[in-house]
């Protein structure tokens, strides 16, 4: 067993309102320069829909992710080294500008500089790629939402085809929900394996997948290899770019920009410990429906004394072990088993997980005149919910409805159980028992999913553990710092002016 640490994220889809604040703040922080106009490291898709880039889930077309050979080996779906070498100068498996969209702006200066006239001046749309006027805007990074979840793109949803599903197309029976997406920072990333120059790499200390801009040669095999299409090509620099999980912020104990600015507070960040020796085993399961369970199986209990000793022996810092023990990610994935990975059938072992949406079934039950919080009604209605369970299974469990149903039943049980608690009634312990939980588990899960504070949602260790050499010996140092806040106060302790618990502050000279 080789223990390694991984920063992971969970998103609660019941809370996403599709405001796109995460997308805008990410773009302002990371992709606001020339050559990145079309890049959205974070986007929010409307489901059902074709997503961004258009139809990214169609791996028969894009050849992303891994495939398992008859002998049990994993090879990139786009081919091995010889196949990569054969098309290194002409890669056919790349989304084009029409699959992303041609970014545009408007001639705002026309509105400001136009002379007085009887007619209102017009700010025409212009392409940011060519500078030419665009008379028609036909596609964008969130076109499904712009269309209001219309039928124009519904039938092209790859998940509906994969699960052989047909959904109602009348407005009173249709459904939609939002799916925020970032790079998955996978345990078994195809983009790293596909890169001929070795520019793509996975950091040892925290598992974040990055691009070495000095080594990147612009072959774009990483774009093809990523099944989530979260690697982009900068046509100005000739380099690949992608979500960095805001690692400079994480190193200072701060959450990612998308997490920090999320209006719905639906994102959770934390540390997971996993057995690196079993990554290939987990990704090589013969039956795709076993991939979710296998991935969960290689995640290690951070409170297990044997795991703690092995982690220390493998060089995992004590602060990271403590962070893993307090991780909301571990609780949502393993303790409560309500978080699921996105498309585990790609065999990349993604590390951004999702709590599936329950709200539509509650709304449907309430609209029918029944009690939308009654556990008997809710648990019976889950299999008939407006969002087909098979659709959610196609997204989060390789088509297996059992994990999705378990997650939804536990979320429904939490709603019913906590209503009795807040109404002053006696808690009905048969409700959590019906879904394999205890009352204490349900209360803890409710706190985490509903009212968790900043430090409970983001448990992030820093990479620096001490003061810079020699700084404490300086006399009359103009830099004022809080030693207790820097080294980390005792649990529960507060220091005036210190950062929130679970974070660290750095002196100005270090920053």
* Span 350-386, pLDDT tens digits: 999 999 998 766 666 666 666 656 666 666 667 666 6
Q: Are 441 and 334 in contact (CB under 8 A)?
A: no
CA distance 48 to 28: 28
Domains and CATH numbers, the chain: 13-101+140-242 (3.30.70.20), 471-511 (no CATH)
Whether the predicted pLDDT of 482 surpasses 60: no
> Roughly how many angstroms between the first and final C-alpha of the chain, as a whole number?
36
Whether the predicted pLDDT of 412 surpasses 70: yes
Name the packing angle between helices 401-422 and 439-446 (round to 10°).
Answer: 90
Residues in contact with 423: Cβ distance below 8 Å, sequence separation at least 6, in sequence order: none
Cβ burial of 112 (10 Å; 0-12, 13-18, 19+) is exposed
CA distance 330 to 8: 9
Q: What is the DSSP letter of 458?
A: B
Identify which has the larger pLDDT, 372 or 295.
295
Lowest model confidence (mean pLDDT) among 146-150, 372-376, 440-444: 372-376
Residue located via tokens 């997490």 = 259
Q: What mean pLDDT is predicted for residues 195-204? A: 94
| pTM for the structure as a whole | 0.86
Cβ burial of 134 (10 Å; 0-12, 13-18, 19+) is middle
Q: What mean pLDDT is predicted for residues 165-187? A: 82
Lowest model confidence (mean pLDDT) among 328-337, 404-413, 437-446: 404-413
Name the packing angle between helices 401-422 and 389-396 (round to 10°).
Answer: 110
pLDDT of residue 358: 83
Q: Are 396 and 381 in contact (CB under 8 A)?
A: no
**Best CA proximity match to 184, nearest among 22, 330, 74, 346:** 346
Q: What mean pLDDT is predicted for residues 212-239? A: 95
- For the chain, the average pLDDT equals 86
**Best CA proximity match to 6, nearest among 329, 453, 348, 452:** 329
Whether the predicted pLDDT of 427 surpasses 70: yes
pLDDT of residue 509: 35
- 204-232 burial, b for 16+ CB within 10 Å, e for fewer? ebbbbbbbeeeebeebbbbbbbbbbbbbb
165: left (phi over 0), alpha (psi -120 to 50) or beta: beta
Lowest model confidence (mean pLDDT) among 164-168, 438-442, 474-478: 474-478
pLDDT of residue 465: 47
Q: Are 63 and 77 in contact (CB under 8 A)?
A: yes
The percent of residues above 70 in pLDDT, for the chain, comes to 83
CA distance 267 to 25: 15
* Span 59-104, pLDDT tens digits: 999 999 999 999 999 999 998 888 888 888 888 889 999 999 999 9
Lowest model confidence (mean pLDDT) among 312-321, 382-391, 460-469: 460-469
Q: Are 187 and 207 in contact (CB under 8 A)?
A: yes
pLDDT of residue 479: 47
Q: Is 303 helix (H, G, I), strand (E, B) or coil?
A: coil
Q: Are 271 and 325 in contact (CB under 8 A)?
A: no
CA distance 284 to 476: 60
CA distance 456 to 230: 28
* Span 304-313, pLDDT tens digits: 999 999 999 9
Cis preceding-peptide flag for 80 (omega within 30 of 0)? no
Q: Is 27 helix (H, G, I), strand (E, B) or coil?
A: helix
């Amino acid at each position: 067993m080789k223990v390694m640490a991984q920063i992971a994220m969970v998103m609660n889809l019941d809370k996403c309102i599709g405001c796109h604040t995460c997308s805008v703040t990410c773009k302002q922080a990371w992709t606001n320069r020339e050559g990145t106009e079309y890049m959205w490291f974070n986007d929010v898709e409307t489901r059902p829909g074709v997503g961004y880039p258009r139809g990214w889930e169609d791996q028969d077309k894009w050849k992303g992710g891994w495939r398992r050979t008859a002998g049990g080996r994993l090879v990139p779906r786009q081919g091995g080294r010889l196949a990569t070498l054969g098309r290194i100068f002409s890669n056919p498996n790349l989304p084009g500008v029409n699959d992303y969209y041609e970014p545009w702006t408007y001639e705002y200066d026309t509105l400001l500089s136009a002379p007085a006239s009887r007619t209102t001046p017009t700010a025409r749309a212009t392409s940011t790629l060519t500078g030419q006027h665009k008379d028609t805007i036909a596609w964008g990074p969130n076109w499904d939402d712009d269309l209001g979840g219309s039928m124009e793109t519904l039938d092209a949803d790859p998940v509906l085809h994969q699960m052989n599903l047909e959904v109602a197309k009348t407005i009173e029976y249709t459904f939609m929900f939002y799916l925020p997406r970032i790079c998955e920072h996978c345990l078994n990333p195809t983009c790293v394996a596909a890169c001929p120059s070795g520019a793509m790499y996975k950091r040892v200390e925290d598992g974040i997948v990055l691009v070495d801009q000095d080594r990147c040669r612009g072959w774009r095999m990483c774009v093809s290899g990523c099944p989530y299409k979260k690697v982009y090509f900068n046509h100005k620099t000739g380099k690949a770019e992608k979500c960095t999980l805001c690692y400079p912020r994480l190193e200072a104990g701060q959450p990612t920009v998308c997490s920090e600015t999320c209006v719905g507070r639906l994102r959770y960040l934390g540390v997971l410990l996993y057995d690196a020796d079993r990554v290939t085993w987990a990704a090589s399961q013969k039956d795709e429906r076993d991939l979710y369970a296998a991935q969960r199986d290689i995640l290690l209990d951070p409170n297990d004394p044997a795991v703690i000793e092995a982690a220390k022996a493998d060089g995992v810092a004590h602060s990271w072990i403590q962070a893993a023990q307090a991780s909301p990610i571990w609780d949502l994935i393993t303790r409560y088993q309500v978080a699921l990975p996105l498309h585990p059938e790609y065999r990349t072992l993604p590390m951004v997980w999702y709590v599936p949406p329950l709200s539509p079934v509650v709304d449907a039950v309430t609209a029918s005149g029944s009690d939308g919080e009654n556990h008997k009604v809710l648990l019976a209605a889950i299999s008939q919910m407006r969002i087909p369970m098979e659709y959610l299974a196609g997204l989060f469990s390789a088509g297996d409805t059992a994990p999705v149903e378990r997650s939804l039943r536990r979320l429904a049980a939490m709603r019913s159980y906590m209503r009795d608690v807040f109404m002053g009634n006696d808690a009905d312990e048969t409700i959590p028992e019906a879904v394999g939980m205890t009352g204490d588990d349900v209360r803890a899960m409710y706190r985490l999913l509903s009212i968790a504070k900043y430090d409970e949602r983001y448990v992030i260790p820093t990479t620096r553990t001490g003061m810079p050499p020699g700084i404490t010996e300086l006399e009359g140092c103009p830099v004022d710092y809080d030693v207790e806040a820097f080294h980390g106060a005792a649990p529960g302790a507060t220091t005036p002016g210190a950062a929130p618990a679970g974070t660290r502050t750095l002196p100005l000279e270090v920053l």
